[in-house]
Structure 1
Amino acid sequence: MSTLKTIAISVGDLNGVGFEIILKAHNQIKQLCNPLYCINYTMAHQAAALLHKQIPNDFHMYKVSGEFTIEAGKVSAECGRYSYDSFIAAVELARSKAVDAIVTLPIHKEAWKLAGIHYVGHTDALRDIFQSDAIMMLGCEKLYVALYTEHIPLREVASKIETDKLTAFLLLLHTATGHEPIAVLGLNPHAGDHGVLGDEERFIEEAIERANAQIGREIFIGPIVPDIAFTPRFRENFSMIAAMYHDQGLAPLKALYFDESVNVSLGLPIIRTSVDHGTAYDIAYQNKASVLSYMNAVKAAITFNVKDENHG
């Protein structure tokens, strides 16, 4: 009897590179787990035909209803709806314990919007589904970055820096990962320069003090000046960073570890990991997509400790 874990794979936006990655990596993935692809026969064979490939005999599918014509590189409501339905199918399989974890391929946010889906992404949907303050964390063993705010306009970030909410975020991050120490970035250039360039750091500092006091030791360090946090010398001492907003954390992370990084949702009753890249419409169905992030996402889903996800 197989001891391999069963992982549900949501196929993402079928007008992008997701299905190419799935087919390219299938023979490697099946050595690591029992993959269950959330797609129906018709759509799978249509995508495979565009790639001039055959569906393997051991390619196990969980039927997701719906059919449309795949158009490489095009944003479409039909494709957005199907990627959402594939994702929800994977979530329900995990919630019912039919699978051990889920791995998601990239969706296109505009396609979701066109389909009438009001979520801005997977993590946003997962928060609502599980009524949880899920944390989006991206990276690899060399460096992980957790995001305090994610897909919101930059002009709104400063108003979101609140001591109570940031304290809760830091505590959940530590509970879910067990990682220490964790560097916490300031919001402003030079971390505010003692209020000269902004005073949001006073809230960040207070949140750090509260979180450390609750844990009983110094886990969180900061506020750290953002422009030094990703330098080689700094990363010798810190392999996890809490960033205040999306590009503050992800622009340098992707410059360093774009192909290796994965996306992990923390604080949920299920394990969910994802690739750390988009739909790559510009190379869709050209057999150019890298499978490295996907492979790492599957490995992370397999090894992630279930108890770490039972918070929030």
Structure 2
Amino acid sequence: MKKIAISIGDINGVGPQLALSQHETIKNLCEPIYCAHPQLLQNACELLGIVMPNDMVFVLPNAPVPPIRAGEICPESGRYSYKSFLQACTLADKGEVAGICTLPIHKKAWQLGGITAIGHTEVLANRYEKKAIMMLGCKEMFVALFSDHIALKNVNATIKFKPLCDFLIQFYQCVKMKKALVLGLNPHCGDGGLIGDEDTIIAQAIIEANKQLGGEIFIGPIPPDTAFSPQNRQEYRFFISMYHDVGLAPLKALYFYESINITLNIPILRTSVDHGVAFNIAYKTQPNPQSYLNAIDLAAQYGSVDEKNQTQYPKDKV
């Protein structure tokens, strides 16, 4: 059974509760390695009124154990979640685990804790000096994001021919899907330039990427307001959105509890829940565990270690 490192996320959110409540289930899918201190999980158990499983395996992050302040944004919890994440990455780099699964962080807590990166994806991109591709979804539908955590006002400037062409080719090399539908940027894909010319650049990048790949892999651009129609969702499983919310709003409307986050184009396999810290319910009610279970399941299925003792993302469809 494969070993999967689990970073605990923000301890004031639902991460510890998910780890504790689902341990009996996920240990049938993998050998979980929790990047956290046993005392921290014991503190969470006391708040939840539950007994901590006696067979959890821990690797300790290089950070002091902060107190749990349920539902609060704290620099201490931000720093701890960051160190937990780095510990999981280190285990993957050394080939000691087949992949990592990250529980949710709070980006503001990271900032307050002195972490300059916006989130997991940016850390991974910097750590491995690669364009980390953010893909979210479930077995029914996956959405990859050309731009991810940037302000809406900055999106237009990212639509450039070569970066987009490279992105499409790299995405294909990671997933090897038969075809994918590419969303445009402007309403009606610009109406022939009447509402912006970015969609012309997208179309040119699609043509060049398909040429280099030797097939009609990428289809589009198609107006975002019709991209996720029932007919298109029957025909396509993979979609590419130029902007975070345009692609993820329909995904989460359709598959909020099932969806997971996968980071592509880096030398380790990283999966994550596709939801936040849920401070409003943390340590109060049981969070829906389906995204976490799906993230663990995919990591356990596809995680592997190559002959160089490095964790590798499988180059086939998820």
- What TM-score does the superposition give when structure 1 sets the normalisation length? 0.97
One-letter amino acid of the counterpart of residue 82, structure 2 = Y
Matched, 1:23 2:20: yes
Q: 4+ residue runs of structure 1 moved beyond 6 angstroms?
A: none
How far is the alpha carbon of 1:309 from its aligned partner? Answer: 2.6
C-alpha separation in 2, matches of 1:268 and 1:303: 18
One-letter amino acid of the counterpart of residue 93, structure 2 = R
2:98–2:303 Cα contact (<8 Å) kept? no
1:51–1:287 Cα contact (<8 Å) kept? no
Q: Indicate the RMSD between aligned Cα atoms, in angstroms.
A: 1.2
How far is the alpha carbon of 1:31 from its aligned partner? Answer: 0.5
Partner-residue secondary structure (3-state), 1:19: helix
Matched, 1:218 2:216: yes
C-alpha separation in 2, matches of 1:216 and 1:151: 31
C-alpha separation in 1, matches of 2:101 and 2:113: 22
1:186–1:224 Cα contact (<8 Å) kept? yes
One-letter amino acid of the counterpart of residue 155, structure 1 = K
Matched, 1:231 2:229: yes
Matched, 1:189 2:187: yes
How far is the alpha carbon of 1:305 from its aligned partner? Answer: 5.8
- Post-superposition Cα deviations, 1:117-146, rounded to whole Å, max 9, x if no partner, equal 011110100000011111000000100000
One-letter amino acid of the counterpart of residue 22, structure 1 = A
- Post-superposition Cα deviations, 1:83-136, rounded to whole Å, max 9, x if no partner, equal 000000000000000111100000000000001101111010000001111100
- Post-superposition Cα deviations, 1:212-255, rounded to whole Å, max 9, x if no partner, equal 00001100000111001111111111110000010010111000
How far is the alpha carbon of 1:297 from its aligned partner? Answer: 0.1
How far is the alpha carbon of 1:192 from its aligned partner? Answer: 0.8
Tell me, which stretches of 5 or more residues in structure 1 are unaligned? none
Tell me, which stretches of 5 or more residues in structure 2 are unaligned? 307-311
1:40–1:62 Cα contact (<8 Å) kept? yes
How far is the alpha carbon of 1:304 from its aligned partner? Answer: 2.2
Counterpart among 141, 144, 165 of residue 139 in structure 2:
141
Matched, 1:46 2:43: yes
Higher mean C-alpha deviation, range 206-215 or range 228-237: 228-237
C-alpha separation in 2, matches of 1:31 and 1:45: 22
Identity rate, percent: 47
Partner-residue secondary structure (3-state), 1:236: helix
Partner-residue secondary structure (3-state), 2:285: coil
Partner-residue secondary structure (3-state), 1:282: coil
C-alpha separation in 2, matches of 1:98 and 1:109: 28
How far is the alpha carbon of 1:72 from its aligned partner? Answer: 0.6
1:10–1:104 Cα contact (<8 Å) kept? yes
Counterpart among 6, 27, 39 of residue 9 in structure 1:
6
Partner-residue secondary structure (3-state), 1:32: coil
How far is the alpha carbon of 1:41 from its aligned partner? Answer: 1.9
1:182–1:221 Cα contact (<8 Å) kept? yes
C-alpha separation in 2, matches of 1:283 and 1:16: 8
- What TM-score does the superposition give when structure 2 sets the normalisation length? 0.95
Q: 2:309 maps to what in 1? A: none
Q: 1:154 maps to what in 2? A: 152
Q: 1:309 maps to what in 2? A: 313
Q: 1:132 maps to what in 2? A: 130
